[in-house]
Amino acid sequence: MEEVIDKTGGKNTGDGWKNYNDTKRTAAAVALSDVISKEEKRFTSKDVELNRVLGGGIVPGSIVLVAGEPGIGKSTLLLQDALEMNEIVTLYISGEESEQQIKMRADRLKINNDNFYLLTETSVNTIFQEIKKLKPQFVIIDSIQTLQAEFVESSPGSITQIRECTAAFQRFAKETGTPVFLIGHITKDGTIAGPKLLEHMVDTVLQFEGDRHYAYRILRTLKNRFGSTSELGIYEMTGDGMRAVLNPSEILINQKEDQLSGSAIAASMEGLRPLLIEVQALVTQSVYGTPQRTSTGIDSRRLQLLLAVLEKRGGFQFGVKDVFVNIAGGLKVEDPSIDLATICALLSSYEDVPLPQHICFAGEVGLNGEIRSVNRIEQRIAEAEKLGFEKIVVSKFNKKGFDKNQFRIQVIALGRVDELYQYLF
């Protein structure tokens, strides 16, 4: 349902931020060749993970949506990142918390910054009056769902409100060259609350995710006008703020003395970063008629497919088993190269035989049980080697020209899942 918008009435008329538009502009077409290409000077934040997911720092005049479930740490992350940039004037607008609450959080972070300003306000009109006075170089809004534009006759968080408020900040960002970060809540079903339109209105959409029961948080690029969308930042939520995790592979692999069955390490890639990830599987006799299949961190249809391949091509009786698969650390993985590690974890639990230590896997599995090649194989192998693995299983169909002998780690190239089974068990 659309709400009534009254742009002429209300107390907004004639004053406030509307005057932002009062410079008369004439529209004229320009020849592309006459446009001078400016090297946009990005702000680099002290947070290397944030710079990475943004494609190399904060672009002036850009509008960035940071979305995530309540309690995941969006306010903490942006407060911390802003406090660390003490050379630029930041305005942090909160419609969710009081000044005291934010102060308490800042105290926990233990960062001093005299250029950091707070405004607890939800009225867009009042906010722009303050913005005009302060002229901040960086604006953060926590959250877009709490804001209210006076000329929209609907409650905060409604579709029209979100759209109008975002439009106002978009205009402000473009006209003044000020970067604006909007915090947005995600609803239970994982969609960003508010219209899909919101995602189209902003330049960049970052999603902050993680399992609240784990300390690890992932900042993922879903859309970026100024960089790649396959980037990923990893943080650890500590007692005094977010800590960038610079070597994620180390934390994602369970450090344990003796190897248990049902666990296998995948040499995966997230964005441009190699990441070694532990896949855990538990295969048990099914008690009920319909066997259970539960997966966290990997796509459940992918799991079904891999089970079907094992059943059909390997003759394993997964049809009478309950199967649980989990990615350690609460991570969600989309890289198909974890197929091979998933298969190995499943087989290891099925046979109740631990895999040899110091081995990892990188390969996609096809419907015929063939092990398919994956991209950036050299980078994956190099990461495995760096972390002290002794062997890595890859597809023998990986593109020609890469030399296994350049690595110290033993590279085992196989063509089919049954060869892998024979090799391991």
Q: Which residues bind Mg ion (CB under 5 A)?
A: 75
CA of 79: how far to CAs of 7, 84, 181, 270, 302, in Å?
Answer: 33, 9, 11, 26, 38
Closest CB 23 distance from Mg ion, rounded Å? 35
Contact flag: residue 146 with ligand TYD (CB under 6 A) = no
Q: Are 231 and 271 in contact (CB under 8 A)?
A: yes
Q: Which does 289 bind (CB under 5 to 8 A by kind): Mg ion, ligand TYD, none?
A: none
In the bound state with ligand TYD, the residue whose beta carbon lies nearer, of 105 and 376, is: 105
Q: Which stretch binds ligand TYD (CB under 6 A): 74-82, 119-127, 276-284, 417-425?
A: 74-82
Closest CB 87 distance from ligand TYD, rounded Å? 23
Paired tokens of 52: 């990475």
Contact flag: residue 100 with ligand TYD (CB under 6 A) = no
Q: Which does 108 bind (CB under 5 to 8 A by kind): Mg ion, ligand TYD, none?
A: ligand TYD
Q: Which stretch binds ligand TYD (CB under 6 A): 167-175, 234-242, 290-298, 387-395?
A: 234-242
Pairing of strands 359-362, 263-270: parallel
Count CB-CB contacts under 10 A for residue 53.
27
- Cα torsion 226, 229, 234, 239: sign: positive
Contact flag: residue 68 with ligand TYD (CB under 6 A) = yes
Contact flag: residue 241 with ligand TYD (CB under 6 A) = yes
Contact flag: residue 74 with ligand TYD (CB under 6 A) = yes
Contact flag: residue 273 with ligand TYD (CB under 6 A) = no
- The single residue among 9, 70, 190, 319 that binds ligand TYD, judged by CB under 6 A, is 70
342/345 Cα distance (integer angstroms): 5
- The single residue among 42, 46, 105, 376 that binds ligand TYD, judged by CB under 6 A, is 105
- Size of interface with ligand TYD, in residues (CB under 6 A): 14
Contact flag: residue 76 with ligand TYD (CB under 6 A) = yes
Contact flag: residue 108 with ligand TYD (CB under 6 A) = yes
Contact flag: residue 424 with ligand TYD (CB under 6 A) = no
In the bound state with ligand TYD, the residue whose beta carbon lies nearer, of 144 and 282, is: 144
Phi, psi of 259 (to 5 degrees): -75, 135
In the bound state with ligand TYD, the residue whose beta carbon lies nearer, of 5 and 109, is: 109
Q: Which stretch binds ligand TYD (CB under 6 A): 67-75, 268-276, 375-383, 416-424?
A: 67-75
CA 224 centroid distance within chain: 12
Contact flag: residue 388 with ligand TYD (CB under 6 A) = no
Contact flag: residue 72 with ligand TYD (CB under 6 A) = yes
Closest CB 78 distance from Mg ion, rounded Å? 9
Residues at the interface with ligand TYD (CB under 6 A): 68, 70-76, 105, 108, 237, 239-241
